[in-house]
Structure 1
Amino acid sequence: MKIGIIGAGKVGGTIATLLESCKFCKSVALADVRPGVSLTGLKKAKFVLVDVKQAAPLAAFVGRMDAVVSAAPYFLNKTIAAACAQAGVSYFDLTEDVETTTFVRDLAARHKGTYMPQCGLAPGAINIVGGSLAASLDNVRTCEMRVGALPLNASNQMKYYLSWSTAGLINEYCQPGDALYAGRRVTTMPLDGVERITIDGAEYEAFNTSGGVATMGETFAGRVQELNYKTLRYPGHRDLMKFLLHDLNLAPRQELVTQIFDQEVPLTESDVVVFYVSVVGTDREGRLKQRSFIKKMHGAVIQGRKLNAIQLTTAAGITGVLELFAKKKLGPGFVKQESVSLEDFLGTQWGGKVYGDNAK
């Protein structure tokens, strides 16, 4: 299978790195508007200079692929998805942006191919896990999904350093989210719903952000009483973000906030991904059960490349579903994350290595 990746940043390069060892992948074309992308250690990959805003080069690139992954900023995904639809090429992305997902879903209804947005960590793997645990019980009271990509050490007031897309980070802090309450879909306000949670003796705060529920609100409406997603941070982070985005009214100026963060907040390669899913409900015999999936995941050196935790967990999420696509385990049209069984996902090469029992 020939796979095109648009966006040769950290995550795009990591996806290419993981695909290097995958038998289902014959070749990888890594596209970006920026020249000089390093492909050291990647024999399957080649670099292609493509400007997404130029329709003809984008169409030519997409048309040569069996599947295209957008690892570009979320605001470019509509353009990329539309080009895939016109070419009849299957499309995957990492977006947490609800509006983008709605746009992709509409394309899937009118064009051939497989369309699967929200394929990373959260949304992505968190929904595969949450959906599978919720489906394992007859009646579900609560499904709580929590994820944090955190620096191992931070000395600033935010207790946070950057490790992934700044534009995506700010967007999920500013947009409303989706949840279930009393079995009905409700809208959550970003940065609200603050709670404290302890995992392996470490204390975190969790609060509402957008995108993490993905399509689960629709899938489990009437079947799960309470379902929600929250981002994990070290205590105190949320208050500073609310001051910045709400009190100073910078939420409508996401581009400016992104520029400030990119300029003034350091990047870190020493990070950890905290992954937490807890489901409570009754089984077929009416017994009340609690089932959970909790992991702390770190980075690794793969193909001679040092990958941090958020790169590895995000890329493993989408590489796992690409393997399932290659094995024809994904149907045509719009594919929801929760339609993938956890068993199938953990049976993939990178889903198993990163999220499985042997993951460290």
Structure 2
Amino acid sequence: MKRIAVMGLGKVGTLAAELLVDAGFEVTGFDAVPREARFETRVLDLSDEAGLTGALSDQDAVLSCLPFSLNQALAKAAHGAGIHYFDLTEDVPTTKAIIELSKTSKGLMAPQCGLAPGFVGIVGADLISRFDDCRLCKMRVGALPQHPTGLMGYSFNWSPEGVVNEYLNDCEVLEDGQLKSVSAMEWIEKITIGGIEFEAFTTSGGLGTMCETYLGRVPNMDYKTMRYPGHVDLMNFFFHELLMRDRRKEAGEILVNAKPPVAEDVVYVHVAAEGTKDGRLGREEFVRAYKPMEIAGERRTAIAWTTASSVVAVIEMVRDGNLPGQGFLKQEDIPLDRFFDTVGGERYASGGRI
């Protein structure tokens, strides 16, 4: 795997492409509009399936940094070309479609390689493995402004389409040994990290494939998004009482206009597992607060570098033979120590300590 196409050159896509160049890949970036970068770029209608097929004809792999709604078509094009496929999606139907493609793929199909799903699943699986018998695993992530203002306490540093999707779609959980589907923006709890209080609530897609993997092994598992207190009540009012759930595109436009991205963001990660080891009950935790950092000569937001570093670490591991080269890749099958040994993974390992 030498030549890789990166589809979508926003902040995350551009940074991922730059990190791939630094890792020794030959990168071609594709976007709907002209972009200048230190790697080759081309303009492409990313919704044109025939154009996607042609763009992948001379590539060994493709990384999608596109909105989740475009990923199924790109995955099909990668499958047809017989090349590796990676993406960052949190969309459950998209992942299920990719799982089906992986059954006949010549290359590796690896969706959900970002932060959540992605890195948190790698950490969760590692914590679970430390117990003889694990009774629960809880994964929490919050991508937030460091200096929140207003009642919502939020800024849309991530794709508004993705945020709306995860706020409205049902969520998979394991509860008392049963695989269940529950509503988003429910099961509200309080979390405190470094003296700062958060509320956490269910959102869709953050667990990836973990519920299926650990069904019958870990009776209780769920994923929640963390926000500053008061956020979830406002979002429930906006989507459900004002019926904006029926106007998703417009909802995203309204929210981004009200709460645009900020440069000074922070990504909180709180993963915990409980169980018994040698007959003793215990709890293992991984808690971090990742902030912006300078990478490749530019200051990068926390959400951009955590997402890009995670997927590039996985791509490096596949190239170097540390992960399978065919079929479907589950994030929970990625060894955390090997992940930390990569350049991108080392940023996660060394930074963010509370």
TM (norm. structure 1) is 0.95
Q: Which residue of 2 aligns with 1:15?
A: 16
- Cα distance in 2 between the residues matched to 1:55 and 1:207: 37
2:81 maps to amino acid: A
Q: Which residue of 1 aligns with 2:344?
A: 350
Q: Do structure 1's residue 313 and structure 2's residue 306 form an aligned pair?
A: yes
Percent identity reads 39
2:13 maps to amino acid: G
- Cα distance in 1 between the residues matched to 2:271 and 2:118: 13
- Asked if the contact 1:275/1:294 (under 8 Å) is kept, the reply is yes
- Cα distance in 1 between the residues matched to 2:265 and 2:105: 40
Alpha-carbon offset, residue 141 of structure 1: 1.3
Choose 6-15 or 248-257, whichever is displaced more.
248-257
- Cα distance in 2 between the residues matched to 1:339 and 1:96: 18
- Asked if the contact 1:17/1:302 (under 8 Å) is kept, the reply is no
Structure 2 portions without partners, runs of 5+: none
Task: Count the aligned residue pairs.
Answer: 351
How has the CA–CA distance of structure 1 residues 154 and 94 changed in structure 2, closer, same or farther, with 3 Å as cutoff?
A: same
- Cα distance in 1 between the residues matched to 2:157 and 2:263: 7
Alpha-carbon offset, residue 329 of structure 1: 2.1
Instruction: Output aligned runs, 1:318-337, within 5 Å.
Output: 318-331=311-324, 332-337=326-331
Q: Do structure 1's residue 280 and structure 2's residue 274 form an aligned pair?
A: yes
How far does the alpha carbon of each residue in 1:249-268 deviate from its partner, in whole angstroms, 9 at most, with x for none? 21132111112123332211
- Asked if the contact 2:289/2:352 (under 8 Å) is kept, the reply is no
1:120 maps to amino acid: G
1:186 maps to amino acid: K
- Asked if the contact 2:84/2:108 (under 8 Å) is kept, the reply is yes
Choose 78-87 or 258-267, whichever is displaced more.
258-267
- Cα distance in 2 between the residues matched to 1:130 and 1:64: 37
Q: Do structure 1's residue 242 and structure 2's residue 236 form an aligned pair?
A: yes
Instruction: Output aligned runs, 1:203-218, within 5 Å.
Output: 203-218=197-212
Secondary structure of 2:244's counterpart equals coil
1:26 maps to amino acid: F
Secondary structure of 1:72's counterpart equals coil
- Cα distance in 2 between the residues matched to 1:291 and 1:254: 38
Q: Which residue of 1 aligns with 2:296?
A: 303
After superposition, the CA RMSD in angstroms is 1.2
Q: Which residue of 1 aligns with 2:36?
A: 38
How far does the alpha carbon of each residue in 1:113-153 deviate from its partner, in whole angstroms, 9 at most, with x for none? 10010000000000000011112211111101000000011
- Asked if the contact 2:290/2:351 (under 8 Å) is kept, the reply is no
How far does the alpha carbon of each residue in 1:176-211 deviate from its partner, in whole angstroms, 9 at most, with x for none? 111111122111210000001111111000000000
- Cα distance in 1 between the residues matched to 2:156 and 2:256: 8
- Asked if the contact 1:4/1:67 (under 8 Å) is kept, the reply is yes
- Asked if the contact 1:52/1:79 (under 8 Å) is kept, the reply is no
Q: Do structure 1's residue 121 and structure 2's residue 115 form an aligned pair?
A: yes
- Cα distance in 2 between the residues matched to 1:222 and 1:91: 30
- Cα distance in 2 between the residues matched to 1:51 and 1:183: 45
1:175 maps to amino acid: N
2:60 to 57, 63, 66: 66
- Cα distance in 1 between the residues matched to 2:30 and 2:22: 20
